[in-house]
């Protein structure tokens, strides 16, 4: 069974952390992953930096630009992760835009993911029908889950289709804006969370975008299996460094 499914099937609410590979420094990737697992994080999303990250807010955009300047790319990331499974056991997901994956070669990229122990991918700009027609069988061959995103403007028909074809979890984007942490959710977001919960989807849902502190995390997991924190964690890394990762995680779960 895929490690993502094993984690989703366990009791309790999940905390997933997103960070940009190669940031703050090129060779920080592995240490950040190890520290996150030691701090009690349930899943990790490793951001593959891209030069034109349209869905990301300024914090993740800046970290992506810095990581590229540091020399991060797909080959470097796979080299850094080649023995990561001797250090950590929690699910690892690569999140990134389709262009770098296409340039690498989708089949070759999936093969490398399988070799280093990646459990799934999140590719926000890969159309569902294009994935089903061209790449679904490749992902299955290499035991990778592909998580799809839904947002407040997503139609019920599309959500039902995503639920039907999904493995792993559905990434539930909290708003139509770009990524970025906030102090609380507004009434429209809460209504959206409630509406999706009442749909009784078969897939587990994890909420991302706008989750950045204990309050927003606790609110999000009231409507879902878990929540993803990205921008707030990256800001913390920039200000306080890798040695303070445990401090950040405790501030969310204390």
Q: Tell me if residue 132 is catalytic.
A: no
DSSP letters along 89-118, please? -S-EEEE--HHHHHHH-HHHHHHHHHHHT-
Full strand arrangement of the beta sheet holding 169-173 = 145-147, 120-122, 92-95, 43-47, 14-20, 226-229, 204-208, 169-173, 149-150
Find the catalytic residue in 45, 62, 132, 247. Answer: 45
HSE-CB for 44 with a 13 A CA cutoff? 28
Find the catalytic residue in 28, 37, 42, 56. Answer: 56
Specify burial of residue 85 (Cβ count, 10 A radius: 0-12, 13-18, 19+). Answer: middle
Nearest 10 degrees: CA dihedral of 192, 213, 230, 174? 10
Q: Tell me if residue 5 is catalytic.
A: no
Residues forming the active site: 45, 56
């Amino acid at each position: 069974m895929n490690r993502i499914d094993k984690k989703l099937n366990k009791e309790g609410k999940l905390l997933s952390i997103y960070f940009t590979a190669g940031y703050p420094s090129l060779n920080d990737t592995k240490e950040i992953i190890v520290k996150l697992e030691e701090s009690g994080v349930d899943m990790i999303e490793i951001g593959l930096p891209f030069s034109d990250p349209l869905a990301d807010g300024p914090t993740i955009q800046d970290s992506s630009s810095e990581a590229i300047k540091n020399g991060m790319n797909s080959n470097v990331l796979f080299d850094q992760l080649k023995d990561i499974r001797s250090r950590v056991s929690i699910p690892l997901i690569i999140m990134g835009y389709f262009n770098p994956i296409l340039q690498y070669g989708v089949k070759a990229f999936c093969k490398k993911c399988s070799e280093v122990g990646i459990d799934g991918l999140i590719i926000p700009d890969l159309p569902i029908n294009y994935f089903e027609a061209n790449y679904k069988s490749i992902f299955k061959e290499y035991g990778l889950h592909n998580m799809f995103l839904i947002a407040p403007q997503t139609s019920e028909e599309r959500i039902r289709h995503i639920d039907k074809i999904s493995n792993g979890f559905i990434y539930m984007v909290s708003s139509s804006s770009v990524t970025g942490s906030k102090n609380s959710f507004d009434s429209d977001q809460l209504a959206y969370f409630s509406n999706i919960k009442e749909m009784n989807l078969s897939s587990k849902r994890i909420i991302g975008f706008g989750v950045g502190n204990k309050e927003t995390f606790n609110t999000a997991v009231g409507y879902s299996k878990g929540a993803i924190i990205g921008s707030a964690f990256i800001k913390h890394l920039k200000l306080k460094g890798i040695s303070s990762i445990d401090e950040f995680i405790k501030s969310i779960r204390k």
